[in-house]
Structure 1
Amino acid sequence: MAIQAITQQVLETALAAHGLRLRGCWQPQDGDTLPALPDGSQPGVVWMVGVVGSAFWPYFKASAFYSDGLPDPLDRWSRAIGEDLAARLGGVALFPFDGPPYHPFQRWADRAEATQASRMMLRIHPAHGLWHAYRFALALPGSVASANNGSITPVQSASAAPCVTNLCASCSGQPCLQACPVQAYTGEAFVLQACAGHLHSGQGEACMQGGCLARRACPVGAGQRYTPEHAAFHMQAFASRH
């Protein structure tokens, strides 16, 4: 596919078939550690790809990865989609779960759209709250301008204005810090052992079945909270590793 054809619309159409969303783009700079493209050239633009709410969940659940009984079904589903799309567009797919060393997806996210640190140690978005995630990035030929077909304001990009409000500092009462039954979140750190111990006890059923109570207490983007089935999937995966 010609470089000029790799536009935002092309990517949005391809990703929509899987319930995935473009999450902004950024232009590589000196110091970014990125692999060369298949033709040996350096990437000119990196698109972030992810999910918002549970829109992708029916697509993933209908895939063979969900029910094949093998480990890491969501990561394998993401890899299959990302690598196929990268191959079609002459690019390289990058994943947050490849490592160590791991790609700095949180820093990349801040370059692509208006995310910021939260008390939950997750990136919070002014519209999506904590109910979003990045599944992969696409390093492609071209540039930020050509990727957006020369438009001034892409869906979100490194040129987009950041969110000037500190979402957590301005949140009255910060209910996320009050909702965790074992105070696993201090506002500055996550106490893994406290969380994992709670989930493996008889008292952790509410978190396991409906998702983290502290995360659910966040009022930002509350309309995009994960469905119970989707949230439980992530909690079960987390508990199985800790």
Structure 2
Amino acid sequence: MRGDFAELIPDQIAAALEPYGLVPRGGFVFDKENAPSPLIRGTYFRSVVLVGHFGSAIWPHFTRWWQDHTDSQDPLDQWSKDVLTAVALKFSAMAVFPSDRPYLPFQQWAMRAEGLRPSPLGILIHPQYGLWHAYRGALLFDRALDFASGSPQNHPCYDCQDKPCLSSCPVNAFSGDGYNVVRCRSHLASGEGNECLNGGCLARRACPVGCEHAYNTPQMRFHMNAFARG
């Protein structure tokens, strides 16, 4: 993993995250030129550790929590905040999340932490897990952690000639001009988008990289319905 750090802290973080299907996904020390230190609640932080998951590793842990929190408006985000806030306390860190405002540059952080690059769909693609991974939050530290240097990740899209992800969307929501969110949501709401809504985005499912790690059907349905609701 790019950005593996040599102290015992990452092993301890990994152990704290493992019961939830989460893993530390690399990190780095902030610097002025490439990744300025964020100022949050009067504190400049020195290091960041990204936290996320691969495939459906979190799904059984999240759904057990969800059974007792059915009134949550954004259950996955709330679960992530409950879990990572508790983990952060153990390590004198601050947990931050993609939904926090003002928004933090999570995609840029993730690209630097693991050396990943965007796919034609805009989602960062992993050489092993493809498009079936996510970042649930990050841990900020007010000290510089000791990160070992990592090797750049291969970008699977460079060698993909057919780009099936761009030709599989039934309403051509993805193109060289970007992602047409309105067209996608309209399709899902029309009744003609049930295959995407209930089984997962056809464009995302068309990518051959890491397809064996694809989210299970309930997880795909959860994400698509959350997206369709806006």
Amino acid at match of 1:63: W
Partner of 1:156: none
Contact 1:65–1:73 at 8 Å: present in 2 too?
A: no
Shift of 1:11: 0.4
Give me the TM-score of the superposition, normalised by structure 1: 0.85
Distance of 2:177 and 2:40 partners within structure 1: 37
> Which residue pairs with 2:171 in the alignment?
182
Following superposition, which runs of at least 4 residues in structure 1 exceed 6 angstroms of deviation?
Answer: none
Contact 1:175 1:217 in 2 (8 A): yes
Give the TM-score taking structure 2 as reference length: 0.89
Q: Which residue of 2 aligns with 1:162?
A: 152
- Between 181-190 and 228-237, report the one with greater CA deviation: 181-190
CA distance in 1, matches of 2:59, 2:222: 10
Give the alignment partner of residue 208 of structure 1, picking from 181, 197, 220.
197
% identity of equivalent residues: 39
Aligned AA for 1:134? Y
SS in 2 for 1:74: helix
After superposition, the CA RMSD in angstroms is 2.1
Size of the alignment, in residue pairs? 223
* Unaligned segments of structure 2, at least 5 residues: 1-5
Instruction: Answer yes or no: is 1:34 the counterpart of 2:34.
Output: no
Question: Which is strand-richer, 1 or 2?
Answer: 2
Work out the CA distance in 1 between the residues paired with 2:187 and 2:30: 42
**Residue type of the partner of 2:159?**
S
- Matched residue, 1:102: 103
1:66–1:73 Cα contact (<8 Å) kept: no
Matches within 5 A, 1:1-242: 7-30=9-32, 32-35=36-39, 42-64=44-66, 67-99=69-101, 101-145=102-146, 152=148, 159-163=149-153, 165-241=154-230
CA positional deviation for 1:89:
1.2
Q: Which runs of 5+ in 1 are unaligned?
A: 153-158
The offset of 1:195, in angstroms, is 0.4
